[in-house]
């Protein structure tokens, strides 16, 4: 089967006055359509750089990336993105933050004015799916951090991207809210069926959510191992408290420890 996301042998060097930073070295993984992948690794190993390459915000120095068979040569329209900071615009209501990509990304942009009511209904339905029914007309600063991150997920998904790129989206949340949001993401993914690349430091998060976890070495980031997560779907949150789950987390933690020491 051909891969939906194919990252092949990518190398990235940030050029600078002091000789450059070798961020990624011949990194490669591939994802099937609808797969949930997590990328973990020591701090500074090049995880965010990988996200920039896959979304076409930076070109690799070597190697190639293709999405759905098309080489990435510039910003990728079929990707939605969410980051650690929800980055909502404080002067726009929740619904207008969610609608923002539709004002930018074609073909929605040309239709937006004409079909605004339909789009607003879609945004409200998506907000309801993440538990924010009735919050569409609020401003971001009236919402908790977890609620803002739910809005950020809706904004990433409103244009129905085939690929969702997440860079530490839950890192700033408390442990309970984080687990709640894992379930929100799990449910959205199961309902809609997009492909996900999740960058995270949290090994429990990766093990709960992902089909496969890819571990990177310390910088320059190389692929060290790929771990298949065997728990059946749908996964209840209780799986995180089972011995088999904890064993995987410990195994990954030990491996990251080795990788950090080089
Ligand atoms: N624009 C840039 N110019 C120069 N060096 C950069 C730039 N962006 C990142 N780097 C360097 O590239 C390396 C990889 O950075 P990156 O942010 O991709 O790592 P990361 O794994 O996401 O880090 P963390 O886990 O701490 O978030 C780091 O050494 C970083 O300092």
ipTM: 0.96
Cβ(85) – ligand 1 distance below 6 Å: no
Ligand 1 pocket, mutate which of 25, 45, 221 (most atoms under 8 A from CB): 45
What is the value of pTM for the model shown? Answer: 0.94
If you measure from the C-alpha of residue 167 to the centroid of ligand 1, how many angstroms do you get, rounded to a whole number?
A: 13
- Pairwise CA distance, residues 167 & 159, whole Å: 19
- Domains of the chain and any CATH numbers: 1-78+162-173+194-262 (3.40.50.300), 81-161 (no CATH)
Does the CB atom of residue 169 touch ligand 1 within 6 A?
no
Alpha carbon nearest to ligand 1 atom 28, residue: 44
Is 166 within 8 Å of 197 (Cβ atoms)?
Answer: yes
Per-residue pLDDT of the chain (262 residues; tens, 9 = 90+): 789 999 999 999 999 867 789 999 999 999 999 999 999 999 999 999 999 999 999 999 999 999 999 999 999 988 999 999 999 999 999 999 999 999 988 888 888 888 899 999 999 999 999 999 999 999 999 999 999 999 999 999 999 999 999 999 999 999 999 999 999 999 999 999 999 999 999 999 999 999 999 999 999 999 999 999 999 999 999 999 999 999 999 999 999 999 887 7
Ligand 1 atom at minimal distance to the Cα of residue 45: 21
């Amino acid at each position: 089967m051909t891969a939906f996301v194919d990252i092949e042998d990518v190398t990235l060097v940030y050029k600078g006055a002091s000789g450059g930073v070798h961020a990624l070295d011949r990194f490669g993984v591939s994802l099937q359509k609808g797969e949930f992948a997590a990328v973990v690794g020591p701090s500074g190993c090049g995880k965010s750089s990988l996200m920039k390459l896959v979304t076409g915000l930076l070109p690799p120095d070597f190697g190639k990336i293709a999405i759905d068979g098309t080489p990435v040569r510039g910003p990728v329209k079929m990707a939605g993105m969410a980051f650690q900071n929800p980055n909502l615009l404080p002067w726009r209501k929740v619904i207008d933050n969610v609608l923002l990509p539709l004002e930018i990304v074609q073909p929605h942009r040309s239709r937006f004015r004409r079909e605004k009511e339909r789009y607003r209904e879609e945004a409200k339905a998506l907000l309801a799916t993440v538990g924010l029914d009735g919050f569409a007309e609020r401003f971001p600063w009236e919402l908790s951090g977890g609620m803002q991150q739910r809005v950020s997920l809706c904004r990433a998904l409103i244009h129905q991207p085939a690929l969702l790129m997440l860079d530490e989206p839950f890192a700033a949340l408390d442990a309970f809210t984080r687990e709640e949001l894992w379930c929100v993401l799990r449910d959205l993914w199961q309902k809609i069926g997009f492909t996900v690349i999740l960058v995270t430091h949290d090994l429990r998060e990766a093990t709960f959510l992902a089909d496969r976890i890819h571990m990177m070495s310390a910088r320059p980031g190389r692929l060290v191992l790929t771990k298949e997560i065997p728990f059946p779907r749908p996964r209840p949150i209780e799986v995180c408290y089972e011995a088999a789950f904890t064993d995987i987390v410990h195994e990954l933690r030990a491996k990251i420890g080795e990788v950090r020491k080089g």
